[in-house]
A and B are shown apart, each in its own frame.
Chain A
C-alpha cells in the first residue's frame, strides 16, 4: 500500500535545531517533497529529493534514504516564523503526491 508517517506535533526553542522525520511506502516512488503550511494558508514548496543524500537550502536541509523509505527535514537557527505545519509527500509513478498528515511545529521563545 501507500503510506506516509510523520509525527503529529513537535516543540522546539527559538534559535535551536529541529529534525522532522518522515517514513514512506510508495509504489513507483518518484521523489520526496517537503512543504510548509502556515495556519489557514496554502502549502508552499520547500524541497524535493529524488536521490539519496542531503540537500541544503539556507537554514533548511532535507535528507533522503530510498533504501530505508526515510526522509527528514532539518531546520536550523529556528525563528518564530517557522511555527507552521510541515508536510511530507511522496511522488508515485502516476505523478500523484501521497501526503502525510503534517507535523505541527511549535517554536517557543
Chain B
C-alpha cells in the first residue's frame, strides 16, 4: 500500500458526460501528479500541483481540469467525455520539500470507461 488513495476505483459513464476523480496524497506529501494510461500504452503526464498551486502541465486536454485543495487532496475533472478518454487515471504524490528528485508514489488508479 503506497499510502495514496484514489476514488472511485471504477467509473462507467457515457459520452458527453462529466466526471470527477479524487486523490488523497500520502500524509505529508505536498506534490500531486496526475497521469493517464490508455490500454497497453505508457504513462502520459497530465498535470502537477504543489501545495495548492499548479506547477506543470503536460498533454492535458482543455476539457480536463484539476485542482489541489488546502487539505492537499486533489481532483481531476473530465468533461465532454469521448470514447478515447477511456483509460486508467493515476495520481501520484511525492514529498516535494527536500529539493531533490523524490520518489513518486502511485495510487491504485481509477479505471474510466466511456460508452
Contacts and interface: CB of A to CB of B under 8 A. Distances in A.
Interface residues of A, number: 21
A87 B48 contact: no
Contacts, number: 53
Given A95-B31, A101-B42, A102-B42, A48 B96 contact: no
Chain A residues touching B, majority SS: loop
Contact of A42 (B2, B31, B103): B2
A43 interface: yes
Nearest to A91: B101
A43 B55 CA distance: 22
A43 B90 contact: yes
B25 interface: no
B43 A87 contact: yes
Nearest to B50: A95
Contacts of B109: 41-42
Given A40-B88, A101-B42, A102-B42, A45 B100 contact: no
